[in-house]
């Protein structure tokens, strides 16, 4: 590995960490789309900043672009407050218009601006190591490494300083306000950090990857845990893993680094989305199927309890009268037999003692609808899953 | 170039005519379908779908190796639909919220699309140049066959809209009720979503991935301000969309270095701004005017009721009082006094005022009933 390669991976990892922290809170606060809006609408800020400074890495440019980000948030909230359109429409209106202004500004001044819309949206991480920061003539490393490093340090500092406030205002804004933390300050603080991170990272990885790095690791982590600290740690790990593996994927395919990092994030999310232990799609579908069977079983047992006449308790009756398919009636019968709820004697089904007990408990719960009965039932239902 | 000359050019110049027609039709169809997206609170779906279409374009190119725009659009349509249904899957099967699902699919699909595009660029295939026009759109690349395709889709969309109008409408406003009436909500839902995706995909070539969502939203959001009827809203949105296309094309054609897509979006944005401010029933301007009027009305009533309380203490209600005693009363101005005089509630005689019997009657009933001759 050459030193340029190490530097690229280092920058990508730092960006991933810097994005994962505000991203986690954005996802939890249901504001993920705001990050997308910010990433687009900083364009006019960058262009105007570039006119003034003529340097893509100048702090003034980052400052101006971050202000555009805040303006976006304020505008969206203002339009939303007028009640003329819904919040999502407000977001969808503001950022394309600001983005269009940026594109037109670039196009009108194409001769003086060495700035490309592609570059802003997509970035080019591969060139990042060539832009060195010289302090008193000494090469101290790539500029973007320093910029993103500074942003990351500030983000981590703010996270540790205001972790409690962030946590409480995210999960219970009303409580936070009544305890004396201003939700508005925390809200705009978070927006500022997101905007600064987006601006700081766009040069290296492009605005779209920033959105991906903010939302995807946090969403993936959210499927695996409900603990905020753990979610933050998972999100950071996923981000860094994708950054480094994405770099090597790009190296191998000879394609855009930002694109391959996003692709790795996508694959990671797909895996977790399908296979997460409790909240993955497969787990959810399995649980839904189990619940369906359990409900069927309960209906079946109650039916048996209510009918003493033999023709109502014949095995074939399941298909005819309760309108179940063959497969389903077979699973239900087997499940009931396995748990010794019923006995089948010459195709006539009858309840055992255990089955009777169970149905009376179930009836009891259905009639009283008391919570204390649920706990008990949960244990019983758990039996069937085994 | 003056306007008449430009209009003449629109009818004679092939390129300009194609682009103007294309953007107008595109604006109309996205405006129509955008109305449904806005009312269903799926405004950002457009943004997500347009980004999600990118890998489809790239894969279609990788498979066929040709740059036939119909096949590329087919790829975009498939990939956009996959993105849409994945978003639904995430929302319904996990606890992730809709904004996270949208942002996730948007950025992940777009990133994957970029990976494919850069991968294609490295391939030794001379055909690949120009695929990136789908990113930001290039109206100038529109040809007559594209316009035909757009017209056909718009016609189909109109037909379906008219055919399923009642179903769309009822699903929009009361989904549960629709289900109880026995309509197949899933089918209607998929139908309208498919058409929204189709309209977005059509616009990719003209305005590009990034700005497509504004094409969908802006005409609809503007139309929403003028009416409460769905039919009128869809119609207005189509008109706004079409005019954004025509004006946007005209402005960008008359200037150098001005790409059409962003200009159309900004024109549509101007429509929205005007609608937000000047719409008679919902607009900010008239809302503010009504607000000020109500405040004045209230002040007038306050002054009248204050006078009433003074007059009450005298046997003769028309007993004159000095104007001076009103001075300490908040809400009193010379203007309000004049207004009361004009309404014949109060008589002024030099520096004295007195309530008329009409004024007394109005004041005593002020908080009991709605007077009809309010300001």
ipTM of the complex: 0.84
Per-residue pLDDT tens over the stretch B242-266: 999 999 988 888 877 778 888 999 9
DSSP secondary structure letters along A106-172 = HHHTTTT----HHHHHH--GGGGGGSEEEETTEEEEEHHHHHHHHHHHHHHHHHHHTHHHHHHHHH-
Domain A282-385 has CATH 1.10.10.10: yes
> Which of B83, B89, B95, B111 is the best residue to mutate to test the A interface, defined by the most A CB atoms within 10 Å of its own CB?
B111
Q: Provide the angle, in degrees to the nearest 10, between the axes of the packed helices B357-364 and B284-312.
A: 110
B113 → chain A, closest CA residue: A259
Residue A56's closest CA among A105, A102, A17, A113? A113
Element (H, E) at A350: strand A348-351
B106 → chain A, closest CA residue: A212
B34 → chain A, closest CA residue: A89
From chain B, pick out residues whose CB is under 8 angstroms from the CB of A255: 115-116, 118-119, 122
Domain A3-279 has CATH 3.30.870.10: no
Domain B285-364 has CATH 1.10.10: yes
Residue B238's closest CA among B262, B260, B220? B220
Rounded (10°) CA dihedral A170, A175, A177, A179: -120
Q: Provide the angle, in degrees to the nearest 10, between the axes of the packed helices B3-12 and B230-254.
A: 100
A70-74 contacts: CB < 8 A, separation 24 or more?
A70/A188, A70/A191, A70/A192, A70/A195, A71/A41, A72/A37, A72/A38, A72/A41, A72/A42, A72/A98, A73/A34, A73/A37, A73/A38, A73/A188, A73/A191, A73/A195
Q: What is the DSSP letter of A277?
A: T
Candidate from B104, B259, B265 with C-beta closest to A269: B104
> Is A282-385 in the same CATH topology as A3-279?
no
Cβ–Cβ under 8 Å, residues B62 and B120: yes
- Could you tell me the CA-to-CA distances from A142 to A13, A61, A65, A139, B123 in Å, in that order? 14, 18, 21, 8, 30
Largest CA distance in chain A: 98
B267 → chain A, closest CA residue: A97
From chain B, pick out residues whose CB is under 8 angstroms from the CB of A107: 257-259, 262
Q: Do B118 and A93 touch (CB under 8 A)?
A: no
Residue B247's closest CA among B227, B270, B264, B233? B264
* pLDDT in the model for residue A318: 67
> Which of B31, B262, B268 is the best residue to mutate to test the A interface, defined by the most A CB atoms within 10 Å of its own CB?
B262
Full pLDDT tens readout for chain A, 386 residues: 678 888 889 989 999 999 999 999 999 998 888 888 888 888 888 888 888 877 766 778 888 888 888 899 999 989 888 888 887 888 888 988 998 898 888 877 766 656 666 666 667 777 777 777 777 677 777 888 888 899 999 999 999 999 988 999 888 888 888 988 888 888 889 999 998 888 888 777 777 788 899 999 999 999 999 899 999 999 999 999 999 999 999 888 888 888 899 999 999 999 999 998 888 888 888 888 887 777 777 777 777 777 777 777 777 776 666 666 666 777 777 777 777 777 777 777 777 887 787 777 777 767 776 656 555 555 555 444 43
Q: Do A208 and B266 touch (CB under 8 A)?
A: no
Cβ–Cβ under 8 Å, residues B286 and B277: no
Q: Where are the alpha helices (DSSP H) in chain A?
A: 3-28, 32-53, 59-82, 87-108, 117-122, 143-161, 163-171, 173-178, 183-205, 207-224, 228-253, 257-275, 281-306, 317-321, 326-338, 353-368, 371-385
B43 → chain A, closest CA residue: A89
**Please, what is the end-to-end C-alpha distance for chain B in angstroms?**
50
Q: State how far residue A325 is from chain B, nearest Cα, in angstroms.
A: 23
Rg over alpha carbons for chain A, rounded to the nearest Å, is: 29
> Which of A88, A116, A282 is the best residue to mutate to test the B interface, defined by the most B CB atoms within 10 Å of its own CB?
A88
Q: How many CB atoms lie within 10 A of CB A60?
A: 11
From chain A, pick out residues whose CB is under 8 angstroms from the CB of B102: 32-33
Alpha carbon A365 to its chain centroid, in Å, reads 37
Sequence spans of domains, chain A = 3-279, 282-385
Q: Do B43 and A92 touch (CB under 8 A)?
A: yes
B305-312 contacts: CB < 8 A, separation 24 or more?
B305/B363, B305/B366, B305/B367, B306/B332, B307/B340, B307/B346, B307/B353, B307/B355, B307/B359, B307/B363, B308/B355, B308/B359, B308/B360, B308/B363, B308/B364, B308/B366, B311/B354, B311/B355, B311/B360, B311/B363
Three-point CA angle A270, A276, A235, nearest 5°:
70
Query: Which phi and psi (to 5°) does residue A342 adopt?
Result: -135, 160
What is the number of H-type helices and E-type strands within chain B?
Answer: 16, 3
What residue ranges of chain B have pLDDT lower than 50? 374-375
Candidate from B44, B113, B257 with C-beta closest to A92: B44
Residue A18's closest CA among A315, A236, A215? A236
From chain A, pick out residues whose CB is under 8 angstroms from the CB of B213: 92, 96
Sequence spans of domains, chain B = 3-280, 285-364
Rounded (10°) CA dihedral B239, B240, B244, B245: -30
Measured between alpha carbons, how far is A341 from A351 in angstroms, rounded to an integer? Answer: 6
Per-residue pLDDT tens over the stretch B212-246: 888 899 999 999 999 999 999 999 999 999 999 99
Measured between alpha carbons, how far is B185 from A54 in angstroms, rounded to an integer? Answer: 56
Domain B3-280 has CATH 2.60.40.1080: no
Partners of A351 in the β-ladder: A342
Partners of B37 in the β-ladder: none
Residue A77's closest CA among A26, A37, A127, A105? A37
In sequence order, the 6+-apart residues with CB closer than 8 A to the CB of A41 are A68, A69, A71, A72, A94, A95, A98, A99, A102
């Amino acid at each position: 590995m050459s030193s340029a390669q190490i530097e690229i991976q280092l920058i990508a990892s730092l960006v991933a960490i810097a994005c994962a922290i505000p991203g986690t809170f954005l996802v939890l606060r249901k504001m993920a789309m705001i990050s997308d809006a910010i990433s687009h609408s900083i364009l006019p800020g960058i262009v105007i900043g570039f006119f003034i400074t003529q340097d893509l890495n100048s702090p003034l440019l980052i400052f101006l672009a971050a202000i555009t980000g805040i303006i976006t948030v304020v505008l969206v909230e203002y339009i939303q407050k007028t009640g003329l359109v819904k919040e999502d429409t407000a977001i969808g209106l503001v950022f394309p218009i600001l983005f269009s202004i940026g594109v037109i500004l670039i196009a009108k001044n194409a001769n003086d601006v060495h700035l490309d819309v592609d570059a802003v949206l997509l970035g080019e991480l591969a060139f990042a190591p060539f832009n060195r920061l010289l302090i008193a003539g000494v090469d101290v490393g790539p500029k973007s490494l320093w910029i993103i490093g500074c942003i990351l340090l500030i983000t981590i500092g703010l996270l540790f300083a205001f972790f409690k406030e962030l946590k409480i205002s995210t999960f219970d804004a009303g409580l936070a306000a009544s305890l004396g933390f201003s939700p508005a300050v925390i809200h705009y603080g978070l927006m500022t950090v997101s905007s600064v991170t987006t601006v700081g990272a766009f040069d290296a990885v492009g605005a779209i990857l920033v959105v991906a790095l903010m939302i995807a690791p946090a969403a993936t982590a959210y499927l695996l845990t409900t603990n905020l600290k753990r979610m933050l740690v998972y999100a950071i790990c996923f981000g860094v893993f994708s950054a480094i593996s994405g770099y090597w994927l790009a190296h191998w395919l000879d394609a855009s680094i930002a694109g391959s990092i996003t692709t790795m994030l996508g694959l990671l999310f797909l895996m977790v989305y399908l296979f997460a232990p409790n909240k993955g799609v497969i787990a959810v579908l399995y649980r839904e199927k189990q619940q369906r069977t359990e409900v069927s079983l309960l209906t079946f047992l109650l039916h048996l309890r209510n009918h003493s006449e033999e023709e109502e308790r014949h095995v074939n009756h399941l298909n005819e009268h309760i309108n179940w398919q063959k497969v389903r009636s077979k699973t239900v019968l087997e499940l009931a037999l396995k748990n010794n709820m019923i006995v089948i004697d010459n195709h006539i089904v009858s309840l055992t003692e255990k089955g009777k007990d169970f149905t009376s408990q179930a009836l009891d719960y259905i009639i009283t609808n008391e919570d204390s009965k649920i706990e008990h039932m949960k244990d019983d239902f758990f039996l069937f899953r085994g | 170039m003056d306007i008449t000359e430009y209009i003449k050019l629109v009818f004679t110049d092939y390129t300009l005519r194609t682009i103007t027609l294309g953007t107008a039709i595109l604006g109309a169809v996205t405006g129509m379908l955008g109305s449904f997206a806005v009312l269903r609170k799926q405004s950002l779906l457009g943004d997500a779908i347009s980004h999600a279409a990118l890998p489809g374009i790239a894969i279609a190119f990788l498979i066929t190796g040709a740059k036939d725009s119909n096949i590329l659009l087919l790829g975009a349509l498939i990939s956009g639909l996959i993105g849409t249904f994945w978003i639904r899957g995430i929302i319904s099967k996990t606890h992730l919220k809709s904004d996270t699902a949208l942002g996730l699919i948007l950025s992940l699909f777009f990133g994957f699309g970029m990976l494919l595009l850069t991968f294609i660029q490295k391939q030794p295939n001379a055909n690949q140049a120009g695929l990136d026009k789908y990113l930001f759109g290039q109206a100038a690349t529109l040809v007559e066959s594209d316009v035909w395709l757009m017209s056909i889709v718009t016609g189909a969309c109109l037909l379906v809209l008219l055919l399923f109008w009642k179903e769309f409408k009822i699903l929009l406003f009361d989904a549960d009720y629709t289900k109880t009436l026995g309509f197949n909500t899933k089918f209607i839902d998929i139908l309208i979503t498919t058409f929204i995706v189709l309209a977005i995909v059509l616009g990719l070539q003209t305005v590009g991935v990034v700005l497509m969502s504004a094409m969908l939203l802006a005409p609809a959001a503007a139309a929403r301000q003028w009416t409460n009827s769905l039919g009128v809203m869809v119609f207005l949105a189509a008109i706004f969309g079409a005019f954004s296309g025509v004006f946007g094309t005209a402005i960008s054609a008359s200037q150098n270095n001005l790409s059409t897509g962003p200009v159309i979006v900004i024109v549509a944005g101007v429509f929205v701004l005007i609608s937000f401010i000047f719409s008679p029933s919902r607009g900010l301007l008239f809302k503010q005017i009504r607000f000020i009027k109500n405040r004045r009305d209230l002040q007038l009533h306050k002054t009248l009721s204050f006078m009433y309380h003074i007059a009450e203490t005298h046997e003769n209600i028309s007993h004159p009082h000095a104007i001076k005693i009103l001075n300490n009363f908040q809400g009193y101005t010379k203007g309000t006094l004049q207004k009361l005089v004009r309404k014949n509630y109060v008589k002024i005689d030099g520096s004295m005022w007195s309530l008329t019997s009409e004024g007394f009657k109005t004041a005593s009933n002020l908080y009991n009933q709605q007077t009809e001759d309010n300001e």
